Structure 1
């Protein structure tokens, strides 16, 4: 009797286990064989799903950012929530997720440095991954301005300001080795309140 394999389910499991491995050992120390071993499959089977370690890591990042986006959409889907409070909750959720994945940011930093050494424009790569978060922020800002809950200032400027605060939080985690973003939470709360009507 043939064994039925749910390919999407297996692919998701590979990505989850690989991400755990990348976080535990760092990008450079993880090999394709280690990923196969962690997943309990052969290298040949792993090649059915991914062509190399870089592709696995890239898909792991995509899966993580997709999960983040789904959590943020749950906040946005609360129409009774004041737009300013919605923005605050969005940022606080981002910081909560970032804190709980701070080891991942270290691995991501090393990965990006390796890409940059290889001539890859890392700014473009990062932009691709965060554009949806920026779009979500713009959605809340526009909705809040239409409802008269947020001051009528240029959406792009407000979005850039808020995004720079997120970047500051990620810098603190990834570069400064801080594990607590409470100060950034206070800054976000203060800044967002300045736009309440």
Structure 2
């Protein structure tokens, strides 16, 4: 009797195990064979799903960002939270998620630098991965403005400011190797408070 393979499920399992492998060993030290071994499949089977190591890595990052987006949408849809508290909750949750995935940033940074050195604009790659997160931030800002809680400053300007704070947290985690980013979370909440309409 033939074994039925759930390809989507297997692909997701491969991505999850690969992401763990990249975090443990670093991008450069992982090979296609190591990915196959860690996933309990042959290289031939792995080629059914992915062309090369880089594609596995990119899809692993995509899987992680999709999970982050899903969690942010859950928070945003919680109608018991007002738009300002929702924005603060989301920003702090993003920082916590970055802290939980600190090893990934230790892998991601050299990967992005190697892309840059090879003439590929790594900024374009990063923007592609975070565009939906930035869109969700804009949605919360607009909700806050429509509820007359947040000042009518251009949404893009507020978004850039808040996203800059997220990048600060990532820099501290990935480059400065700081595990405590509570000061950045406090700064985010203070920044949101400074955007509020005083009543």
Q: Cα distance, 1:66 vs. partner?
A: 0.2
Matches within 5 A, 1:25-104: 25-104=25-104
Aligned length: 197
Give, in whole Å, the separation in 1 of the partners of 2:78 and 2:158: 21
Contact 1:82 / 1:149 at 8 angstroms: preserved in 2?
Answer: no
Residue 133 (structure 1) aligns with: 133
Gaps of 5+ in 1: none
Give, in whole Å, the separation in 1 of the partners of 2:55 and 2:156: 33
Runs of 4+ in structure 1 over 6 Å off: none
Contact 1:84 / 1:195 at 8 angstroms: preserved in 2?
Answer: no
Q: Is 2:165 the partner of 1:153?
A: no
TM-score by length of 2: 0.97
Gaps of 5+ in 2: none
Contact 1:22 / 1:30 at 8 angstroms: preserved in 2?
Answer: yes
Q: Cα distance, 1:36 vs. partner?
A: 0.3
Q: Cα distance, 1:79 vs. partner?
A: 2.2
Name the SS for the 2:143 alignment partner: helix
TM-score by length of 1: 0.98
Q: Is 2:181 the partner of 1:181?
A: yes
Residue 23 (structure 1) aligns with: 23
Give, in whole Å, the separation in 2 of the partners of 1:18 and 1:3: 24
